[in-house]
Amino acid sequence: MRLFDFGRAPNPRRVRIFLAEKQVEIPRVTVNLFRREQLSPEFLAINPGGTVPVLELDDGTYLSECLAICHYLEALHPQPVLFGATPRQQALVLMWANIVDHEGMSAVAEVLRNLSPGFREHALAGPLACAQIPALIERGRRRTEQFFDRVEQQLQHQPWLAGEHYSYADISLLVTADFAGWVDIVPMQTRPALRRWHERVAARPAVQA
């Protein structure tokens, strides 16, 4: 197997943390997003979506999307359990992972991609050229704050995002919370439950992966 990766990007970081929690090492191939290598014909033949991470399996299959990659790795390396040990826990992990992706990560990306000069002609991920829409910056900020308000309410009543156990959902939330700092949003400042949670997760050795 090989992992197509880029050290500065938030999504590959999710997979690296997941692998570190499993204590599994996979050879990595750097795809330099700053040089637009993800849009090269060679990489688009691997992933037409033009995004990282991508996991290449031994049989030549390519898996994109963090959730799919980590779910596959969980099946190969079931301990420690990061997708829930019971059907209920598994459903909650997948539910919150989906909420983080669609309400959190996408909101921060909306701000960054419509704000940063580096995305002037690529406001959406992938090969499609798409101009920035400055009006979406403020909308993205409101969406981001609303998402972290929802998370704050959840963490006031339980230790981890999906319940009693640390999971893939917490990894995704950590990466999203840190990613928000790229656009000068620090959600932990005004949300005490999120701050306590973040301190515990950030102290885990795997987070440095």
d(CA 32, CA 112): 18
Kindly indicate the confidence band of residue 131, based on its pLDDT and cuts at 50, 70 and 90.
very high
Amino acid found at 85: A
Tell me the mean pLDDT in the region 114-118. Answer: 94
pLDDT tens per residue across span 195-204: 999 999 999 9
Question: What does the domain layout of the chain look like in residue ranges?
Answer: 2-76, 87-208
Give burial (CB, 10 Å; 0-12/13-18/19+) of 56.
middle
Sorting pLDDT into bands at 50, 70 and 90, what band is 150?
A: very high
Cα dihedral: 13, 126, 136, 143 (round 10) = -40
- Predicted local distance difference test score (pLDDT) of residue 94: 98
pLDDT of residue 120: 87
Which pLDDT value is given to residue 82?
98
**Which pLDDT does position 155 carry in this prediction?**
98
Burial class (CB in 10 A: 0-12, 13-18, 19+), 58: exposed
What fold does the segment set 87-208 form as a domain? Answer: Glutathione S-transferase Yfyf (Class Pi); Chain A, domain 2 (1.20.1050)
Read off the pLDDT of each residue in 109-123 and give the average, rounded to a whole number. 93
The least confident of 38-52, 55-69, 121-135, 165-179 is: 121-135
Residue 116 pLDDT > 90: yes
- pLDDT tops 90 at residue 113: yes
Question: Could you tell me the CATH superfamily of domain 2-76?
Answer: Glutaredoxin (3.40.30.10)
Share the mean pLDDT of the chain: 97
| pLDDT at 209 > cutoff 90 | no
